[in-house]
Amino acid sequence: MASITIDGIVKQFSGQTVLQNLSLHIPDGAFYTLLGPSGCGKTTLLRCIAGFYEPDGGRLLFDKDDVTRVSTHHRDIGMVFQDYALFPDKSAFDNVAYGLRARKVAKPEIVRRVGEALEKVGLSALADRYPAQMSGGQRQRVALARALVIRPRVLLMDEPLSNLDAKMRLQMRDVILDLVREAGITTVFVTHDQEEALAMSDRIAIMDRGSIAQLGTPEELYGTPVNAYVADFIGSANVIPVAARRVDDGAASTAPHVRYQLAGQALDGVQGGPQLGNDSVLIARPEDLSLMAPAPHVPNALHGQVLRRQYLGFKTAYRIALQDGPEIRVELHAGNTVADFQAGDAVQVLVPADSRVVSA
């Protein structure tokens, strides 16, 4: 096992910069996920770590070993792909045995280790099957066994669950986590599925056009996104432009601070960063907002009208048109004692005082 240090990696394809001076440290034994929309550079980064692509700048270390110029073959990596990439003319056993044979491991040890690996992924009974005779989930288990049987220093997985149906995807999350935790192997997992990333990762790196927009634990990314891009990508968020105003409290405060306004209403307690530009946006998760009937003098209450109410069982979702403002989404969970509202009702949307304003 090894830590992975990505130090200022640059990768270009015919003049287009796909990875921009990207740095990331993945501790030994950690499960890190690269998350981002299609085309943001996830696969390119993974292929640089694997050695399929040589970066145009920067360094790559496994522990203290500089592997930037080391061939894939000598990097000791296990790799799992979206399309399984099994040898169609080899049985499950022979697919898993492939890497051990290439490493000239003795025959009895091959039989023992392949048997163990197939047992761990629950495929002992299917050792003689060919890929065409197996389901997608079974093929991906063979691919996982093949990647792990060589006891690689790092495991790289590129959207390994994307070709599976919803139920199998959930099952395979646990299969993967059980195996990598047991092996204690450093894992880089690529997905464009935010829920998968939240459910599986120690830390998630959200990528935006070849850079890391934010690195953090699932809780950090969900709770304190650094910008609108991250807030919108992880979970769903209302991202609403607000006016920022510098307020001088006089001698009592050491420095003038910033207050925010939305739809003519001052937002009390809402905290922002140092920015005071015209690109400030309020980040408000639908489930953090609540509704009440219009009443005077309620702090942080935005007047609006219900456009649509959608009952979803465990929650009810509302689309609200704010008076002199944009639309905002509010979700009330079942058991919430707040009165229910219908389309056309006048309401107030309550913005929590600890909401955040970030730069758009």
Ligand X SMILES: Nc1ncnc2c1ncn2[C@@H]1O[C@H](COP(=O)(O)OP(=O)(O)O)[C@@H](O)[C@H]1O
Per-residue interface string for the shown chain with Mg ion, residues 32-61, x marking contact by CB under 5 A: -----------x------------------
CA-based nearest residue to 321, from 332, 308, 305: 305
Ordered DSSP codes for 167-210 = HHHHHHHHHHHHHHHHHT-EEEEEES-HHHHHHH-SEEEEEETT
Nearer to ligand X, 43 or 187 (CB): 43
Nearer to Mg ion, 43 or 140 (CB): 43
Q: Which residue in the set 2, 9, 18, 332 belongs to the binding site for ligand X (CB under 6 A)? A: 18
Residues 203, 209, 210, 212: what is their CA dihedral angle, to the nearest 10 degrees?
-30
**Interaction between residue 184 and ligand X (CB under 6 A):** no
Q: Which residue in the set 5, 33, 43, 355 belongs to the binding site for ligand X (CB under 6 A)? A: 43
β-strands 211-216, 186-191: how paired?
Answer: unpaired
Nearer to Mg ion, 43 or 300 (CB): 43
Q: Per CB under 6 A, which region of 42-50, 109-117, 142-150, 312-320 contacts ligand X? A: 42-50
CB of residue 43 to Mg ion, shortest distance in Å: 3
Amino acid at 302: L
**Could you give the CA distance from residue 74 to residue 90 in angstroms, rounded to a whole number?**
24
Nearer to ligand X, 195 or 327 (CB): 195
**Could you give the CA distance from residue 167 to residue 186 in angstroms, rounded to a whole number?**
26
Cα 72 from chain centre: 26
Nearer to Mg ion, 5 or 43 (CB): 43
Amino acid at 225: P
Q: Per CB under 6 A, which region of 33-41, 77-85, 94-102, 289-297 contacts ligand X? A: 33-41
Contacts with ligand X by CB under 6 A lie at 13, 18, 36, 38-44
Contacts with Mg ion by CB under 5 A lie at 43
